[in-house]
Amino acid sequence: MTSTDDHSQTPADAAARPQVIDLEAEDITPAEERAQAEEPHQAEAEDDPPASPQGGGRASWRWIAVAALAGLVAGGWFYRDILSTYLPSAAMAELEARLATLEAKTRTGEEQIQALGATLEKSSEALTGLEGAVKATAEGQTALRGEFDGQATRIAGVEQSVTEIKEQLNALAQAGSSTGSGVDSGALAALTARLTEIERQLADLKAGSGSGDGGAAAILRQALSDLRAKIAAGQAYGPELRRITALVPAAGGNMVLEAHAEKGIANGAGLAEELRALILGLPEAVAADEEQGGYWESFRGAITSIISIRDVGATDWRQLAGRCADQAAAGDLAGAVSLIDSAEGAAPAALAAWRERAGDRLKLEAALPELGAAVERTIAAMGEGL
């Protein structure tokens, strides 16, 4: 250690300033030992190669490649899940078009299968109806055969009776001529003429009751005529309708005819009587409010003797029912129904029920021409006309 003294300082300055000690260490190692200690460090420094500037560049290129690969993967995912919906490729668009075409063909095939199933169901129903028609025809033929047999038996019995009566008349005529008794020849001739007419009618019945289409046509004519007569009289017509539908399956299924076959519906005259019986049970007309005293009441009394005065919107149901009954009795049943339908307000329950019966009667009369046409077609197919 060394110390430095400044001789230029005065004794007063030296006393005022503190003494500074230089503590810097000095290497007192001999030069030979110092050289030997530095030689290993220099050898290690010579053994380490200098850092190459290319090492850091290779690492950066690896990271760039990894980042590029990750970007490609992320871009593909983004395109597939998001952009492909808005920007499809040509192959994707073609594939979608093919899928749409395939779906349309599949849907068309399903519709065709459903239509085929509906057609099969309708065909099955038609076959069921055809089987029922065949069964009804067979039953009709059986009934027709029974009708033929019964009619032939009845005709044979009548023929036998006619023959016996004819023989008795001949014997009576011979006895009168031989004995000279007072037998009326005019009465005898009249009886003989009537007997001849009966024989002619029997011959016609035998010609029309033979087996085959001629007998069926005769039965159809008679059944249709009887049915029309019973409907006109307002009577039940069930047996006649069943006989017709057994021979003419196309005439079956008429709901109007079948609904009233067992009870029938009254004709216009019968419905008129029914309505007249209901008149007293209908509500009376609501009269206009009367004013007390004065010339108005006397004037009103004179007017009401000629016309009826009622409130606007009110209907005299008794008077209306009487008019409807008159029209029904005259044969204008449609006009009677129209009067009730055009009346103001709701008709009373009894009158409404009568109107329904009158409407059913009109429907029944309208269904008769259709039934007659079906019977005519069947008879025409047999080779005969009405």
- Identify whether 167 is part of a domain: no
- Identify whether 44 is part of a domain: no
Tally of structural domains, the chain: 1
Q: Considering only CA atoms, which of 156, 149, 150, 158 is closest in space to residue 197?
A: 158
Do 238 and 246 contact (CB within 8 A), yes or no? Answer: no
- Judge residue 231's burial from the number of C-beta atoms within 10 Å of its C-beta, 0-12 exposed, 13-18 middle, 19 or more buried: buried
Q: Can you give the pLDDT at residue 267?
A: 93
- Identify whether 307 is part of a domain: no
- Identify whether 238 is part of a domain: yes
User: Would you give the DSSP letter of residue 305?
Assistant: T
- Identify whether 181 is part of a domain: no
Conformation bin of residue 200: beta by default, left when phi > 0, alpha when psi is -120 to 50: alpha
Other Cβ atoms closer than 10 A to 196: 12
Q: Can you give the pLDDT at residue 354?
A: 95
- Domain containing 229 equals 214-285+313-386
Token pair recorded at residue 375: 């019977």
Whole-model pTM over 0.75: no
Three-state secondary structure call for residue 209: coil
Q: Can you give the pLDDT at residue 66?
A: 86
- Identify whether 337 is part of a domain: yes
- Identify whether 230 is part of a domain: yes
Q: Can you give the pLDDT at residue 146?
A: 63
Three-state secondary structure call for residue 260: coil
Token pair recorded at residue 217: 């046509």
Q: How far is CA 213 from CA 223, 317, 370, in A?
A: 15, 55, 22
Q: Can you give the pLDDT at residue 334?
A: 94
Q: Considering only CA atoms, which of 374, 142, 386, 381 is closest in space to residue 248?
A: 374
- Identify whether 139 is part of a domain: no
Q: What is the pLDDT along the chain (386 residues), one digit of tens a residue?
A: 444 444 555 555 555 566 656 556 566 666 676 666 666 555 555 555 555 555 556 778 888 888 888 888 887 777 677 766 666 667 777 887 888 888 888 888 788 788 777 777 777 777 676 566 556 656 665 665 666 666 667 666 777 777 777 777 777 777 666 655 555 666 667 777 777 777 766 666 555 554 445 567 888 888 899 999 999 999 999 988 888 888 887 665 578 888 898 999 999 999 999 999 999 988 876 554 444 445 566 666 666 555 555 544 567 899 999 999 999 999 899 999 999 999 888 889 999 999 999 999 999 999 999 888 888 888 888 764 44
